[in-house]
């Protein structure tokens, strides 16, 4: 009986110890929670009491005059170009040179002054083209190789994007006397004068419409064109009166004229300038329609040296019964400004 009682007593002691430990644990948790809450309350900051003081201001917007200093720039509506070319060639042979040859010297010059004025809707273009060349062969004397004066002026007013109404004034002639040489044999030649300054000379006035789709091409349709042909040298008139008739120095023609201009760089150092003119006189036979094509192809070797090929094709029954042509190839100096 003693052993069971001891066992029961032991179990009762264990139960009491467990109950006491549980009560201590709960009390510790409660106390800990109370302490934490108090610390948090102490750390709290009153935002209203500790806020940074601010003062609200009303936004005001008003106009201010800002001084602006304009730069001293001026618009230049003018564009000018000057081109000067000089070509020189020379050949010499000894008296006993087996292949033969003739000593010769040749010199050619070309001067172009081009100016433009563009201020919409008006434009003005002026071009002065002077060309002269001479060659001297042993036993033949001095002879012209090229000779031309060309002065063109055009004033236009824009009608639409590509169409203009224009008026133009053009003058053409040559500087020096020109001869036609006949070989008489034995190193002798007969010279007949066929041209001179203002023999012939042409003055053309034209009004009409111009079509200009790009900067390098334009087409003039001169619906109202008048041209005066001058032969002021009696020596020239004896061989060719250029259609002015005997005992006359001036001839007037009314005509329809078409002029096409092409001026563009074909590649980096190659430039083509071409001008075609068609002249249809009113009241004359179609065989007197005049065609003229002038073209200059230049290839630049470096800044100054260039190669130039120029040619002219002309059909004018007043000067010759068949088409006329000239061609020249030259290596020389070409200066362009700017």
Distance of alpha carbon 143 from alpha carbon 285, whole angstroms: 36
Percent helix, percent strand, percent coil in the chain, to nearest 5: 15, 55, 30
Q: Is the pLDDT of residue 224 over 90?
A: yes
Most confident segment among 90-99, 205-214, 294-303:
205-214
Domains of the chain plus CATH, in order, are 78-337 (2.40.230)
196-222: buried (b, 16+ CB within 10 Å) or exposed (e) per residue? bbbbbbbbbebebebebeeeeebebbb
According to the model, what pLDDT value does residue 51 have?
A: 58
Q: Is the pLDDT of residue 103 over 90?
A: no
Distance of alpha carbon 336 from alpha carbon 338, whole angstroms: 6
Q: In the 8-state DSSP scheme, what is residue 40?
A: H
Instruction: DSSP for 72-84, please give it.
Output: ------EEEEEEE
Kindly state the tokens that stand for 294.
């002038």
Instruction: Taking residues 116-120, report their average pLDDT.
Output: 92
| 134: exposed, middle or buried (Cβ count in 10 Å: 0-12, 13-18, 19+) | middle
Distance of alpha carbon 182 from alpha carbon 35, whole angstroms: 138
Q: Is the pLDDT of residue 97 over 80?
A: no
Distance of alpha carbon 77 from alpha carbon 120, whole angstroms: 10
According to the model, what pLDDT value does residue 27 have?
A: 45
According to the model, what pLDDT value does residue 183 have?
A: 79
According to the model, what pLDDT value does residue 9 have?
A: 64
Residue spans of alpha helices (H) in the chain = 2-43, 47-50, 234-239
Q: Is the pLDDT of residue 28 over 50?
A: no
Kindly state the tokens that stand for 57.
């201001």
The separation between CA 327 and the C-alpha centre of its own chain, rounded to angstroms, equals: 27
Distance of alpha carbon 249 from alpha carbon 92, whole angstroms: 44
Q: How confident is the model at residue 29 (pLDDT cuts 50, 70, 90)?
A: very low
Distance of alpha carbon 272 from alpha carbon 220, whole angstroms: 19
Q: How confident is the model at residue 90 (pLDDT cuts 50, 70, 90)?
A: confident
Give the model confidence (pLDDT) of 269-285 as tens digits: 999 999 999 999 998 89
Q: Are 109 and 131 in contact (CB under 8 A)?
A: yes
According to the model, what pLDDT value does residue 170 have?
A: 97
Q: With pLDDT > 70 as the criterion, what percentage of the chain qualifies?
A: 81
According to the model, what pLDDT value does residue 14 have?
A: 67
Instruction: Taking residues 299-319, report their average pLDDT.
Output: 90
Mean pLDDT of the chain: 84
Q: Is the pLDDT of residue 22 over 60?
A: no
Give the model confidence (pLDDT) of 171-191 as tens digits: 999 999 999 888 787 778 888
Q: How confident is the model at residue 30 (pLDDT cuts 50, 70, 90)?
A: very low
Distance of alpha carbon 69 from alpha carbon 272, whole angstroms: 46
Sequence-ordered list of residues with C-beta below 8 angstroms from that of 70, at least 6 positions apart, any chain = none
Give the model confidence (pLDDT) of 234-273 as tens digits: 999 888 899 898 889 999 999 999 999 999 999 989 999 9
Higher pLDDT, 155 or 16: 155
Q: How confident is the model at residue 128 (pLDDT cuts 50, 70, 90)?
A: very high
According to the model, what pLDDT value does residue 195 have?
A: 93
Say if residue 121 is preceded by a cis peptide, omega within 30 of 0.
yes
According to the model, what pLDDT value does residue 57 have?
A: 72
Q: How confident is the model at residue 320 (pLDDT cuts 50, 70, 90)?
A: confident
Say if residue 200 is preceded by a cis peptide, omega within 30 of 0.
yes
């Amino acid at each position: 009986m003693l052993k069971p009682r001891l066992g029961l007593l032991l179990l009762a002691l264990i139960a009491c110890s467990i109950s006491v430990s549980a009560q201590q644990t709960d009390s510790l948790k409660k106390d800990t929670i109370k302490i934490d809450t108090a610390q948090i309350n102490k750390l709290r900051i009153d935002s209203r009491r500790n806020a940074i003081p601010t003062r609200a201001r009303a936004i005001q917007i008003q106009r201010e005059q800002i001084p602006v200093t304009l730069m001293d720039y001026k618009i230049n509506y003018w564009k000018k170009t000057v081109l000067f070319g000089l070509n020189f060639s020379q050949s010499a042979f000894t008296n006993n040179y087996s292949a033969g040859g003739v000593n010769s010297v040749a010199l050619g010059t070309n001067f172009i002054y081009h100016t433009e004025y563009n201020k919409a809707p008006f434009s003005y273009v002026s071009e002065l083209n002077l060309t002269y060349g001479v060659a001297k062969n042993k036993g033949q004397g001095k002879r012209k190789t090229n000779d031309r004066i060309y002065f063109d002026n055009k004033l236009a007013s824009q009608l639409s994007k590509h169409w203009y109404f224009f008026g133009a004034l053009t003058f053409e002639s040559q500087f020096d006397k020109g001869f036609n040489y006949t070989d008489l044999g034995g190193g002798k030649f007969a010279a007949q004068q066929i041209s001179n300054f203002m023999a012939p000379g042409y003055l053309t006035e034209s009004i009409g419409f111009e079509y200009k789709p790009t900067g390098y091409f334009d087409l003039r349709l001169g619906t109202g064109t008048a041209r005066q042909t001058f032969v002021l040298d009696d020596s020239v008139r004896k061989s060719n009166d250029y259609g002015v008739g005997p005992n006359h120095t001036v001839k007037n023609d009314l005509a329809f004229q078409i002029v096409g201009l092409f001026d563009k760089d074909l590649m980096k150092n190659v430039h083509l300038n071409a001008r075609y003119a068609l002249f249809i006189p009113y009241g004359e036979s179609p065989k007197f329609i005049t065609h003229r094509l002038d073209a200059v192809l230049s290839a630049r070797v470096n800044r100054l040296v260039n190669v130039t090929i120029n040619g002219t094709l002309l059909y004018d029954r007043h000067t010759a019964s068949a088409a006329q042509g000239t061609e020249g190839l030259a290596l020389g100096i070409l200066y362009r400004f700017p």
